């Protein structure tokens, strides 16, 4: 038995990271679903309630991230590079923080009416979160499922491109037709936060792709 194979036996046994990454992604998915619901909502109190529920998901995300770091600090051997594990944990946390930031802006600014374009962006964010859940569920079988994971990463990248197109169209239309300056600023800031969220999702998927390439 080679030394590399011998060490790999120990690496395979260290699987406590995998369910934590899944928990993190599933928590993000819950938050993205709430964000989508919030973008469709017009009642101020309901918007604030949904923002509070997303804040709870953010708090839970912080707990999960702390658990990942704690396991990392105490692990002798890890399934892949320590820096990659830490960066991915932080990236997932950043995705959730960005969802929270979008939600907070909706709750604070209280735009007059829901926008179809912003709802569409939120739908794409929710799809990206779903793909993130799928990706994390394949970490345990990364080598076998490398091509599938690469395809899922492509899906998130395509979502980011689609969101960019929607965002540009929305902003152009907003500056052309919105006559209320205060409302324009509100909607502009919300749209920017949502677009930033899709950028963060893409960055996380790029990190996962890098992990797949290095470990497949």
Would you state the pLDDT for residue 4? 43
pLDDT tens for each residue of 12-40: 445 688 999 999 999 999 999 999 999 99
Parent domain of 68 = 3-215
Query: Using CA atoms, how far apart are residues 120 and 40, in angstroms rounded to an integer?
Result: 10
- Over residues 166-195, the mean pLDDT reads 96
* Residue predicted with more confidence, 122 or 113: 122
* Count of domains forming the chain: 1
Q: Cα 1 from chain centroid?
A: 41
> Does residue 8 surpass a pLDDT of 70?
no
Would you state the pLDDT for residue 14? 52
Would you state the pLDDT for residue 73? 87
Query: Using CA atoms, how far apart are residues 76 and 86, in angstroms rounded to an integer?
Result: 15
- Over residues 60-67, the mean pLDDT reads 97
Would you state the pLDDT for residue 100? 98
Could you tell me if 131 and 148 are in contact, meaning their C-beta atoms sit under 8 angstroms apart?
no
Would you state the pLDDT for residue 15? 67
> Does residue 6 surpass a pLDDT of 50?
no
> Does residue 93 surpass a pLDDT of 80?
yes
- Over residues 49-78, the mean pLDDT reads 93
Would you state the pLDDT for residue 76? 79
- Over residues 62-77, the mean pLDDT reads 90
Would you state the pLDDT for residue 1? 43
- Over residues 88-108, the mean pLDDT reads 98
> Does residue 11 surpass a pLDDT of 50?
no
pLDDT tens for each residue of 189-213: 999 999 999 999 999 999 999 999 9
- Over residues 144-156, the mean pLDDT reads 97
What contacts 24+ positions apart, CB below 8 Å, involve 184-192?
A: 186/109, 186/110, 186/111, 187/109, 187/111, 187/115, 187/118, 189/105, 189/109, 190/102, 190/105, 190/106, 190/109, 190/111, 190/118, 191/117, 191/118, 191/121, 191/167
In this structure, what CATH number is given to the domain that contains residue 75? 1.20.58.220
Would you state the pLDDT for residue 7? 45
Average pLDDT over the chain, rounded to an integer: 92
């Amino acid at each position: 038995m080679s030394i590399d194979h011998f060490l790999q036996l120990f690496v395979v046994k260290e699987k406590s990271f995998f369910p934590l990454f899944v928990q993190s992604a599933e928590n993000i998915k819950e938050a993205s679903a709430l964000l989508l619901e919030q973008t469709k909502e017009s009642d101020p109190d309901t918007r604030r309630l949904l923002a509070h529920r997303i804040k709870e998901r953010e708090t839970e995300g912080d707990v999960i991230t702390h658990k990942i770091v704690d396991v990392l600090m105490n692990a002798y051997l890890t399934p892949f590079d320590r820096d990659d594990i830490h960066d991915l944990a932080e990236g997932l946390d950043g995705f959730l923080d960005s969802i929270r930031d979008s939600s907070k802006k909706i709750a604070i600014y209280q735009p007059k009416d829901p926008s179809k374009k912003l709802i569409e962006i939120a739908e794409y964010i929710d799809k990206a979160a779903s793909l993130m859940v799928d990706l994390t569920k394949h970490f345990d079988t990364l080598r076998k499922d490398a091509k599938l994971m690469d395809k899922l990463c492509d899906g998130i990248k395509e979502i980011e491109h689609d969101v960019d197109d929607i965002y540009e169209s929305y902003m152009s239309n907003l500056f052309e037709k919105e006559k209320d300056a205060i409302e324009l600023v509100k909607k502009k800031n919300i749209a920017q936060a949502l677009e930033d969220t899709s950028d963060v999702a893409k960055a996380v998927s790029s990190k996962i792709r890098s992990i797949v390439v290095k470990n497949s």
